[in-house]
Amino acid sequence: MGTRASVRKIHAASDVNVQTQEPWWVGVDWFFLLLILALLIEGLIAVYSTSVAFAVTRTDKPETYFIKRQLFFAVVGLVGMLTTWRIGYEPLKRHPRLVVGLAAGVLGALLLLLIRNRLSGGPGRTLLGASLQPAEFAKVVLILYLSVWLNTRRRQIRDWRWELAYVGAITGVFALLVLLQPDLSAALTVFTLGFMMLLLAGAHPKQLMFTLAVGLVVIGVGLPALRWLYPVGIQRITDFWISLIDPLRVGGHMREAMWAFLRGGWFGVGIGMGKSKFYYLPLPHTDSVFAVIGEEWGLVGASVVLLTYALFLWRGLQIASRSPDPIGQLLASGLVLWITGEAVLNMAGIVGLLPQAGNVMPFFSYGGSNLTAVLTSLGLVLRVAQEARLREARYRGEGRAILDLRGRNRRRRVSRARGAAATGRH
């Protein structure tokens, strides 16, 4: 009884130590944090090189206009990351309505954007003087919403009809509002995120197959509408198809991106010395930033970027696998897969492995909304890693304490036996 009481006291003391005595930054996954900062620094260098050329040749802005804005949003994103890291995801677990409010706010912003576009008679993707792109925050909020909802329904996830209808409805509303901006790449990303969250939550195979079937039907039926809503996307798919049949006939964006890599060679022409960003590549500071990296940093530099993303993905999934609860697993894996998935789509489109979908390259593409959303969401991943490390440290401490208690009891039993033998008592 004494040993059990002592173990209970150790449990209580360790919980108090973790929750009240330890500073909030104890248990930081420094490797993952360094990977985030490495991607941020690499991205700022790329944005500086590409945006200066874009500002000088294609706008009337000062040459440092875009990099100053990117630095500002980097600071905002880091503040957001520290805030979400400090608060954690515990409020979402205790008060699921918070994420409902976030979803309602993003949906309201998307609706406001569509109304503004309707009144102005033209397309648009930003609000507040081109400072807010609701589609970028819609991706993060959808991951948060589905993580919380699927966590509360994890026992019923195998009921594929009801769960699929609900997840499909919320995902479809987000995707439709984004598509009508129009923004085909973001809409496809939203749809893919819904499918991915079902997969991560352990959905029934019927759910996954039915979701894929519905997606293919929607794409097939909506192709005529896509020609009207997104003619650039249709042209990109056509260029990709031509490149598969006859690479010598490839033209437009894809051709210029390939030429940029050829000029860069193994080690590149030097940061800031590239030529393609001035006149040849469309939007070199956003969609085409990886082509500029290939020209200025060379194949070696582009491989370093790929390696950083690969380590980021590996560490993020490792954090998710060690999460102390299911919602942490869904959050960490969903956010990390979203960020790396967008980067892979962008890079694969630039080198001709996939059609150029228009996805941004997180950390590297200019854009305050994406950078802020990415950094702020990664604060939650850092918190998941921290919770896992603190729990492991607590369990190791409890295990050592139990062994010490048993050792002391065993030593007392041996001492009494020796005393009895010395005095002749049995």
Residue of 374, 378, 379 lying closest to 362 (CA atoms): 374
Choose between 53 and 17: higher pLDDT. Answer: 53
Choose between 85 and 124: higher pLDDT. Answer: 85
Computed over every residue of the chain, the mean pLDDT equals 80
Q: Buried b / exposed e across 47-77, counting CB within 10 Å, b at 16+? A: bbbbbbbbbeeeeeeeeeebbebbeebbeeb
pLDDT band with cut points at 50, 70 and 90 for residue 242 = low
At 319 the pLDDT is 96
Number of Cβ within 10 Å of residue 352's Cβ equals 19
Asked if 133 contacts 321 with a C-beta cutoff of 8 angstroms, the reply is: no
Residue with tokens 């944005």: 47
Residue of 176, 191, 180, 113 lying closest to 146 (CA atoms): 191
Residue 377: pLDDT above 80? yes
Proportion of the chain above pLDDT 90, given as a percent: 39
Asked if 93 contacts 327 with a C-beta cutoff of 8 angstroms, the reply is: yes
Asked if 144 contacts 92 with a C-beta cutoff of 8 angstroms, the reply is: yes
Residue 19: pLDDT above 70? no
Angle, to 10 degrees, between the axis of helix 289-296 and the axis of helix 30-58?
A: 100
Q: Of 87-91, 162-166, 331-335, 397-401, where does mean pLDDT reach its minimum?
A: 397-401
Number of H helices, E strands in the chain: 16, 0
Mean pLDDT of 304-317: 97
Instruction: Using DSSP, state whether 363 is helix, strand or coil.
Output: coil
Q: Of 166-180, 188-202, 243-257, 281-295, where does mean pLDDT reach its minimum?
A: 243-257
Hey, what are 79's tokens?
């503040």
Q: What is the pTM of this model?
A: 0.84
At 280 the pLDDT is 78
